[in-house]
């Protein structure tokens, strides 16, 4: 890999679009080559300055209202009485009911808790993270205290689970040298991992206003990532659980942390 190859890839590297295997080689070159490192730093600084400081013009309230009106008008044209809508909905309701009966019993949940956490971590580990597991924590009233201790979390958890989204347990994780936490939720048969990591050093431009969210689908996985003050949160699950991931994210967003 020569300087030309590396400089061709610098934009992607700065913005975090280089596969892990290739990134290693690029970073090794940057350590050894002053010229390329200089260009990398130059691009990175400019990109971060723009991401952090370019004015993000707020959507005028009047325009927002007008848009919502447009959308409502479009929505009202659709009839909910069409069989194409209610037949699948009814079928889905039956399936959900069946799943609730099958999987919703408390004893079944408690048996699976540790296995599920282990499986989630094992699954994600080696896919994306150079991660290491810390001590386990089965959830309870002291979850917030455990989190504070585990990763110096100064914020109140956005959502600790309910009957719909059951919080199964938590693990301390170390992801690329950063101490974080992994919480595992389950809704019906969908298992969703929730990572909280300190944002510092994570290679993507976190917007101070917290408006950026990321729904990334890799082969077999879906993840939804967003900044939360000085942390980065990410919900991860298999692609078939995409809607459940979005629903959990909505739940977390609808109850913003007060801390």
Helix (H) or strand (E) holding 169: strand 166-175
Least Å distance, CB 126 to other proteins, is 6
Nearer to other proteins, 70 or 154 (CB): 70
Three-class HEC string of 212-241? CCEEEEECCEEEEEEEECCEEEEEEEEHHH
SS3 of the chain: helix, strand, coil, percent, to 5? 50, 25, 30
We find the least distance from the C-beta atom of residue 48 to other proteins, in angstroms, to be 8
- If DSSP codes are grouped into helix, strand and coil, which group holds residue 129? strand
Residue showing tokens 């993507």: 204
Least Å distance between CB 94 and other proteins? Answer: 19
Q: How far is the CB of 76 from other proteins (least distance, A)?
A: 11
Nearer to other proteins, 62 or 152 (CB): 62
Return the number of the residue (113 or 181) whose C-beta is nearest other proteins. 181
User: Which token pair is 228?
Assistant: 């939360």
Please name which of 185, 180, 218, 219 lies closest in space to residue 116, comparing C-alpha atoms.
185
Burial 161-189 (b: 16+ CB within 10 A, else e): beeebbbbbbbbbbbeebbbbbbbbbbbe
- Closer residue to other proteins, CB minimum distance, 64 or 108: 64
CB nearer to other proteins: pick between 254 and 258:
254
Least distance (Å) from other proteins to the CB of residue 254?
13
- Give whichever of 7 and 144 is closer to other proteins, judged by the CB atom: 7
At residue 186, the 3 state secondary structure works out as strand
For residue 23, what are the CA distances in angstroms to 27, 28, 164?
Answer: 6, 8, 40
Q: How far is the CB of 35 from other proteins (least distance, A)?
A: 6
For residues 219 and 258, which CB has a smaller minimum distance to other proteins in the complex?
A: 219
Strand partners, 133: 173
Least distance in angstroms from the C-beta of 109 to other proteins: 26
């Amino acid at each position: 890999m020569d300087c030309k190859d590396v400089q061709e890839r610098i934009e992607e590297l700065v913005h975090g679009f280089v596969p892990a295997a290739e990134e290693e080689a690029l970073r090794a070159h940057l350590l050894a080559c002053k010229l390329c490192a200089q260009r990398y730093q130059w691009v990175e600084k400019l990109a971060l300055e723009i991401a952090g400081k370019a004015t993000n013009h707020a959507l005028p309230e009047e325009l927002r209202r007008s848009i919502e009106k447009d959308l409502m008008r479009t929505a009202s044209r659709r009839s909910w009485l069409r069989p194409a809508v209610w037949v699948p909905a009814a079928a889905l309701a039956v399936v959900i009911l069946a799943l609730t009966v099958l999987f919703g019993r408390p004893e079944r949940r408690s048996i699976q808790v540790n296995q599920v956490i282990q499986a989630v971590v094992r699954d994600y580990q080696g896919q994306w993270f150079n991660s290491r597991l810390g001590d386990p924590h089965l959830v309870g009233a002291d979850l917030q205290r455990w989190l504070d201790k585990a990763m110096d979390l100064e914020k109140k958890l956005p959502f600790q689970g309910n009957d719909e989204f059951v919080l199964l347990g938590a693990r301390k994780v170390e992801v690329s040298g950063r101490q974080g936490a992994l919480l595992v939720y389950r809704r019906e048969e969908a298992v969703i991992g929730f990572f909280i990591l300190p944002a510092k050093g994570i290679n993507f431009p976190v917007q101070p206003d917290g408006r950026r969210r990321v729904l990334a689908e890799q082969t077999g996985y879906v993840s939804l990532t967003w900044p939360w003050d000085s942390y980065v949160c990410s919900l991860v699950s298999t692609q078939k659980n995409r809607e459940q991931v979005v629903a959990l994210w909505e739940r977390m967003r609808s109850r913003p942390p007060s801390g």
